[in-house]
Amino acid sequence: MSARLDPQIIQEISRRGGFTLWGVSNVTPLSAFDHYRRWITAGFHGTMHFLEDASGLAKRASPRLFFPAARSILILGARYSGRIPFADPGGLTGLISAHSRGRDYHQVLRERAACVAEELSRAAGRLVEFLVAVDSSPVLEKPLAVRAGLGWQGRNSLAIHPQEGSFFFLTEIFTSLELEPASQEIPDLCGNCRRCLDACPTACILPDRRIDARRCLAYQTIENRGSIPLELRPLLGRRLFGCDACQSVCPWNQKASEVGVLTEFLPRSLEDVFPDLPVLVHLSGAEFKSRFTGTGLIRARRRGLLRNAAVVLGNTGCEDAVESLSYLLFNEADALIRGHAAWGLGQISSCRARDFLSTALSRETDETVLEEIRLSLAEDHGAQAGMAASSATTAVE
């Protein structure tokens, strides 16, 4: 049997690769899979049907099946920043989640982890087989991180490290090297804290540390390809892509430093954090690809991002948003976007917004969009009636 690599060497190589956290797990089956399977059975994964795939389920249950040559798994953590380095411009701007303000982390992690694996091979003095995994791979990376001593899985389901908090990405190197696994896990330090549960705008965090993705705003703005449920739209606020509510309030993130944050994950400009929505809604397909290729926002596609933008514009309640929303309602080919634009106009109490909706009602041919228009007009009528009644009561008094 070949001698195992010195842990100090693994740490040095990992740090040179830009990873502030590292740990080793064996490849035996994960007991946490039962928790995951119950999550799937309950339907909490929403429309992410790829998570139900039989082959993927088997690999998540038994890591060895993901890469049969593996004898060890090196789990690595790369820091990203949860802070906003720019003043909030307000107005008609959206907000992008902390994890997507720089380069697409999937690409960055794969590149850096592959370099680490190659260095480990050189340090071992022989050819080493390896396979890099990220969160799009059929791997239960958070339970693996727990087993490797990188933290505990918090109430918000995220991996939390006592010094690093939860603002870090995970990647795994499945390797034929036999590495020394972590001797012990970090205990669960959430205690009686419920800040993440209380801060969640949609109550999607369940008491048993499962997430009902169908109510999660990150899921709705990124993974959901269809209509955002009516009851969740106002709760989006300015969130254009993702949600940081449960991480922002976590006390372990208040204590974490910014040391070791990778530059690839930092925003280059104000637009990477607070995108100008009127500019965004006018982007053509080619312009959208040019601007967002290489970032995480490409995952939502133009269709999803403009749908989200329509909701955020409506949530501003601002008359200035009418122009952008009416542009989407009358010029956008996609019915999903037009429907959400109609909803957005319905959130703005102005004669101009109502006039656009009334005009669209006579021109629109898609039934789903027509339903959104009718609903918006009905809500606006109800709001006006309520205001009139209130004014009359005040006059009598």
What are the pLDDT digits (tens) for 84-96? Answer: 999 999 999 999 9
CATH 1.25.10.10 segments of the chain: 276-396
pLDDT tens readout for residues 225-259: 999 999 999 999 999 999 999 999 999 999 898 89
Considering the entire predicted model, what is its pTM? 0.93
- In this prediction, residue 383 has a pLDDT band, given cuts at 50, 70 and 90, of low
Which amino acids are annotated catalytic? 135
Q: CA 95 to CA 271: how far, in whole Å?
A: 9
Average pLDDT over residues 61-89: 97
Residue 395: pLDDT above 70?
no
Residue 387: pLDDT above 80?
no
170 DSSP β-pair partners: 77
Domain covering 276-396 assigned CATH 3.40.50.1980 in the classification: no
pLDDT tens readout for residues 277-329: 999 999 999 999 999 999 999 999 999 999 999 999 999 999 999 999 999 99
Query: Dihedral angle at the C-alpha atoms of 151, 219, 194, 30, nearest 10 degrees?
Result: -40
- In this prediction, residue 396 has a pLDDT band, given cuts at 50, 70 and 90, of very low
Would you state the structure tokens that stand for residue 119, as one six-digit string?
């260095």
Q: Is residue 116 within 8 Å of 13, Cβ to Cβ? A: yes
The residue whose two tokens read 């109800």 is 382
Provide Rg for the chain, Cα atoms: 24
> What mean pLDDT, rounded, does the chain reach?
95
- In this prediction, residue 385 has a pLDDT band, given cuts at 50, 70 and 90, of very low
